[in-house]
Amino acid sequence: MMSVLADQKILVTGGAGFLGRQVIAQLHQAGVHPDNISVPRSRACDLRSLRACEQAVVGQNIVIHLAAHVGGIGLNQAKPAELFYDNLMMGTQLIDAAYRAGVEKFVCVGTICAYPKFTPVPFQEEDLWEGYPEETNAPYGIAKKALLVQLQSYRQQYGFNGIYLLPVNLYGPEDNFDTHSSHVIPALIRKVHEAQTAGDSQIEVWGDGQPTREFLYSEDAARGIVMAMQHYNQPEPINLGTGFELSIKDLVTLICELMAFEGEIIWQTDRPNGQPRRGLDIAKAKAQFGFSAKVDLAQGLQQTIAWYRQQTEQL
């Protein structure tokens, strides 16, 4: 497989992001020559433009579409229209441009937010259309889910080889720690760190702590994406996760323990919880292309915390 991949031209949208960097590292390990990997940057290549998409896919054998306008509950509440439009336009135009340019394979990375709000746990891929997504992230989730329909339609009509992956909540070093748009793990790490730095004896956390989540370390997610690129060629979506679900309350407790924070947790129960539960059935990824996560949550959190602390010390 390494010799086969050596000459492949691969476009990685979002390749400069925290997941994208890990995907590129995994591509290198799989034998792809660094010169054969293209990473369009948003400043010069706005994928919301059809022309930009057409230019980006020229001469490419494989497209891995990671680029997304994404964030936590706060961003989803503040900018639902932008999240819907940007993600739909980037994806749908890139898929069409890739097909028309003769790209051999399209790997689309979707989102756990596409699942219905009250999906039975563990989420199975067949449940994807059994209801409406959780309201606060529905515009983002539906925009990304539409790309699955497009890929399946292009496969049926044109024979275009597009696959669709559903990673659970991601985290890891180089994640987005911005206070206005970060997801739960980087947001909590930053809150605890800033409380410790300021000498505060408490932190505030959105919701009541009851919802559950599953988290996948970015390096594991990247490995799963590259494995699917190499070995999976079917129209059905595939979950990528760990199979380990825990409550937000337990997550907060774990992060506080790892960061040696003994202050009080103030639950902001007037703030939204988001989807009640998230936990994936991961059997198909294991069966179809041999993927299983290697990094457990405590280990991944320790590495993420260490990276964040190092960055703040350098400022």
Active site residues: 140
**Residue 313: other Cβ atoms inside 10 A:** 7
Dihedral of the alpha carbons of 20, 72, 174, 92, in degrees to the nearest 10 = 10
Which conformational region is residue 263 in: left (phi greater than 0), alpha (psi within -120 to 50 degrees), or beta? Answer: beta
Residue type, 83: L
* Residues 168, 218: Cα–Cα separation, whole Å: 10
Query: Which residue matches tokens 């900018």?
Result: 79
Tokens representing residue 183 in the block: 């997801």
User: What are 123's strand-pairing partners?
Assistant: 280
* Residues 73, 55: Cα–Cα separation, whole Å: 34
